[in-house]
Structures are given as C-alpha cells and as structure tokens.
Structure 1
Amino acid sequence: MDAAEGKPTPAAAPSHPHGPPAVNPWSTGLFDCTEDPASCWLTCLCPCITFGQLAEIVDRGSTSSGASGALYMGIGILTGWEFQWIYSCFYRTKMRAQYGLQETPLPDCCVHCLCEPCAICQEYRELRNRGFVMDIGWHANMELQQQQGRGGSAATVPPSMHVDGMTR
C-alpha cells in the first residue's frame, strides 16, 4: 500500500520461473461479487471486456486487452458460447502460477467450465486488489508506478528488446 497516496501498489509477480508453490489464498472468494458489482455486471453482459483487461495484465502487456477480448469473443461466437472457457482457463492457471495462488475451490478448468463469469470476476478482483488499475492496461500501470516513485521491479517491467543492432 502506498502510504502517501493511499493506493495499493501493483504486486510484483514472483521471480522464480516456475512460480512458487501454490500457498497464497485468493484475496476474494469465487462468489464474492458484492465486493465489485460493477465489474460483475460488465462481465455478465460483455465478458470479453473484463477478460481482455485481465489477460493484458497477466500477459504483462505482450497482448492488448482488445486482442485478447476479441479472441475470447470470437471463440465464444464460433462455438455458440460453449468453449470460450477453455481459453480463459489458461489465464487462470497462468495467473495462479505468477502469484502462487491456490487452486481452489476446484481445478482451474472446472471453475471456468462451471462458472465462467464468477471465475473471470474473481481474477479481475485479484489483480485489482494487488494494485492494478484494470482499465488502463499493463503499460499505463507501469508508467503509473514509475510516476509514483516506485519503479517497476524486474518481475513486472516488460523486457527491453535488443536484436543484433536493432533496439526498441
């Protein structure tokens, strides 16, 4: 928590490449929609927006929220909204590995298959509770951290690109 601003800081993901053992509890339960009714309504009405935002943060900016949301929507439309949960399940697993979260109350694929909107909302709340401003994306969150004097740790800053004479 940033004491001067009174805002939480985005928590760095563990630096261990395989992630720590899953020992950390989720900050909210799967059915705790009363904690953030606005994101729950948004997820129920248009899950591609909420999913896209959380996917951009989990991917550390390597994919945009628009691209992830569009792919989620495309899979949903093509499969009659029967199998988009398979795509979103991978992000729950990735997020759990990044933050050492427990696989509860069921395995990731079961949570997404049985209660997709609740799973997406829980993941969204988890990232928000870790200090991310969800609607501004990864890069803006990193800029915000730097402006507030926290800088990004090695685990949260996107890698710089350097390829034989080419820099980015």
Structure 2
Amino acid sequence: MDYSKPTDDGQKYPPPHGGDLPPPVGTPVTPSGINDIQPIPPPSARRGHGGAPGQWSTGLFDCVEDIPNTCVTFWCPCITFGQVAEIVDRGSTSCGASGALYTIIALVTGWPCMYSCFYRTKMRRQLELPETPCPDILVHGCCEPCALCQEYRELTNRGFHMSLGWDGNADKQNQGFTTAPVVERGMSR
C-alpha cells in the first residue's frame, strides 16, 4: 500500500508500525499490546529515567477500579493471593499451591498477612516500587484485602492477564513468533 497517496477520505495514514516503510521481512507483526507484555525484568533492565524508582499505578484504597476482583478478594482472598504469587514467583509456584498455603496459614494462625506481606515486598523490589503508604507488614496487617487488590491491579496494569497465570502470559507474549517445525530423521513423504 502506498502511504504517500491520500485515501478515499483524502487523508494520508502512516503504516501501523509508525515508520515510513513496512517492517522488515521476518519481523513478527502482532496485534497491538501482545509483545508489550513483559515478564518482570531483572533489576538492571527496569531502571526508569535516571534510575528513579517506579510508582504504584493505583492507590491502596482504589478497590472500586476493579469491582469483580474486589469481590473475589473480599470473599476468597486466597484466589487473589495465589494469582499474584504465581506471577511474582515467575511460575515456580502455582496459583493453587500458593492459595492453599495462604488458606492453611489463615486457618491455623489467623494471620495470613505474614505470608502475603512477603510477596508484596518481593513484588515491590522486582518492580522498584516505593514502600508506601507505610511498611508492607502494616499495609497487609491492617488492610489485607486492599493490599491484595492493589497488587493484583498493579500487575494487571503492567500487562499481565492474571487469570492466565505465568505460563499463559508467557505463551500470549510469544504469539506471532513462529519457528520452523522440527524434522526428525525418517520423516519423509
């Protein structure tokens, strides 16, 4: 398509990738946003402008921004915790295992915030988020549902589809990239 010529409505539209030429041959073209989903990168790759720490995308008490998650977290916080923990652990612990351990700790001690606080701290360090409005243990100890909702929203706002888990997000990120099939010896027509 020649982008220098006007279309039927008289406008000139640039190519979707923002350049003057089509993307090079072999460059995967995917729907907008799929390749933007990035796993939590190593600290050296996460530094923003001037190495300044990041900021939370939503406040601690902004639970009304995601009513369905707020309801799930209020009635069954182990689900939200499990989803957050799986992403923060990069899939090394499943949502179900983390949620079950959270439930056991809640039933035995009545203080699941001692466990979930650890994951808030881990997530904050990975994403270089500030410890606000107060230390993580106080946030989870006083406002456990709000803290879990904020962590869930933060990961969602950073491009993670929480219901897919770590492996599902990795698969979704890699959509559009194709590899040649492996041909094993003896496979012929």
TM-score (ref. length: structure 2): 0.71
Give me the identity figure in percent.
Answer: 57
Shift of 1:23: 1.7
- SS of the residue aligned with 2:43? coil
Distance in 2 (CA, whole Å) between partners of 1:13 and 1:22 is: 17
Match of 2:32 in 1: 5
Aligned length: 145
Q: 2:157 aligns with which of 125, 129, 142?
A: 129
Match of 1:98 in 2: 126
What is the rounded CA distance, in whole Å, between the counterparts of 2:123 and 2:52 in structure 1? 11
By how many angstroms is 1:30 displaced? 0.2
* Corresponding position of 1:43: 73
Aligned to 1:88: 116
Structure 1 residue runs without a partner (length 5+): 150-168
Shift of 1:124: 0.3
In the other structure, the counterpart of 1:162 is none
Out of 62, 72, 76, the position equivalent to 2:102 is 72
- Please state if 1:110 is matched with 2:138: yes
Q: 1: distance between equivalents of 2:62 and 2:34?
A: 21
CA contact (8 A) 1:8 1:129 kept: no
The code of the aligned residue for 1:28 comes to T
CA contact (8 A) 1:33 1:121 kept: yes
TM-score normalized by structure 1?
Answer: 0.79
**Measured at CA, do residues 11 and 86 of structure 1 come closer, stay the same or move farther in structure 2, by a change above 3 Å?**
same
Which letter maps to 1:137?
G
* Counterpart residue number, 2:18: none
| CA deviations over 1:76-112 (Å, ceiling 9, x no partner) | 0112xx3100000000000000000010000101100
- Mapped contact 1:56–1:64 kept (Cα < 8 A): yes
What is the distance in 2 between the residues matched to 1:35 and 1:8? Answer: 25
Measured against aligned partners, the alpha-carbon deviations of 1:129-155 in whole angstroms (never above 9, x if no partner) come to 000000111011001100144xxxxxx
Pairwise CA distance, 1:24? 1.0
- Relative to structure 1, the CA distance from residue 7 to residue 86 in structure 2 (aligned partners, 3 Å threshold; closer, same or farther) is same
Distance 2:104 2:71 in 1: 21
The 8 Å contact of residues 132 and 141 in structure 1, kept in 2 or not, is answered as yes
Structure of greater relative contact order (alpha carbons < 8 Å, 6+ residues apart)? 1
User: Residue 57 of structure 1 aligns with which residue?
Assistant: 87
Shift of 1:14: 3.8
Which amino acid letter does the alignment assign opposite residue 57 of structure 2? Answer: S
CA distance in 2, matches of 1:7, 1:37: 25
